């Protein structure tokens, strides 16, 4: 596995990198030996240290977690525990998914992911409906079941995930609601789609 350890306004040093290697090696050895790469970013927030971990464990599957503490090692350990917890929670499903991925490459599409600049209230009238694009990148729209989509969203600590629903081929969205539950938008569930529903 390829490992990158980066410090933002903070020196990571060899001892910290060694700690990261041993810790992530232990977690991945226990749950997912075939991880492709891992990135650890350590930064300073006022008097605290923040550690962000991103582990690419398979095709389209990324585990993200973060931790904040007074000491850099404690912040990393907190984030690493969250990574372990996520992998433990989804271990069986990840292994099943990985085995399927080896048998046949699942269909997925490419899409463009845009990052838009926020519109200040005073500039809103001048800008019209077109906010400025500040970043553009290619992203994958995977073909998944709803359960797999929720798992990927949780693992990536993402607020939303767009996917093609494997059961009927329509684009769907799962998202994290403010009440902590997961929302699911599925156009296929709308009855009026040219289908006739008989009443009994």
Quick one: average pLDDT of 10-17? 90
The two three-digit tokens of residue 175, written as one number: 């998202």
User: How far is the C-alpha of 41 from the C-alpha of 66, rounded, in Å?
Assistant: 9
pLDDT of amino acid 67: 96
pTM for this model (two decimals): 0.71
- At 149-191, the pLDDT tens digits run 999 999 998 999 999 998 888 899 999 999 989 999 998 555 6
Longest dimension (CA), the chain: 72
Q: Which two tokens stand for residue 166?
A: 């494997």
Residue 116 near residue 133 (C-beta atoms within 8 A): yes
**pLDDT at residue 126 in the model:** 56
Which residue segments constitute the domains of the chain, with CATH numbers given?
2-103 (3.30.160.100), 108-189 (3.30.505.50)
Beta strand extents in 34-192 (DSSP E only): 37-45, 48-58, 61-69, 108-116, 133-144, 160-165, 171-176, 182-185
pLDDT digits (tens, 9 = 90+) for 127-136: 566 778 878 8
H or E stretch covering 6: strand 2-8
The whole-angstrom separation of Cα 53 and Cα 9 is 17
pLDDT of 101 > 60? The answer is no
Based on DSSP, count helices (H) and strands (E) in the chain, helices before strands. 4, 9
Task: Report DSSP letters for 12-44, one per residue.
Answer: -HHHHHHHHHHHHHHHHHHH-TT--EEEEEEEE
What's the CA gap between 34 and 99, in Å, rounded? 12
């Amino acid at each position: 596995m390829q490992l990158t350890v980066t410090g933002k306004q903070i020196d990571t040093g060899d001892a910290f990198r060694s700690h990261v290697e041993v810790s992530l090696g232990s977690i991945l050895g226990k749950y997912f030996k075939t991880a492709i790469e891992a990135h650890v970013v350590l930064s300073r927030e006022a008097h605290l240290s923040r550690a962000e971990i991103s582990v690419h464990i398979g095709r389209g599957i990324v585990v993200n977690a973060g931790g904040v503490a007074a000491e850099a090692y404690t912040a990393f350990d907190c984030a690493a525990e969250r990574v372990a917890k996520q992998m433990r929670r989804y271990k069986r499903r990840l292994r099943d998914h990985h085995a399927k991925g080896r048998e046949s490459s699942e269909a997925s599409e490419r899409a463009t992911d845009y990052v838009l600049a926020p519109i200040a209230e005073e500039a809103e009238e001048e800008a019209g409906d077109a906010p400025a694009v500040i970043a553009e990148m290619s992203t994958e729209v995977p073909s998944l079941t709803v359960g797999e989509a929720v798992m990927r969203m949780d693992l990536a600590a993402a607020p939303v995930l767009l996917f093609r629903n494997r059961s009927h081929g329509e684009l769907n969205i799962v998202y994290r609601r403010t009440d902590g539950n997961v929302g699911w938008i599925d156009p296929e569930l709308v009855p009026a789609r040219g289908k006739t529903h008989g009443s009994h």
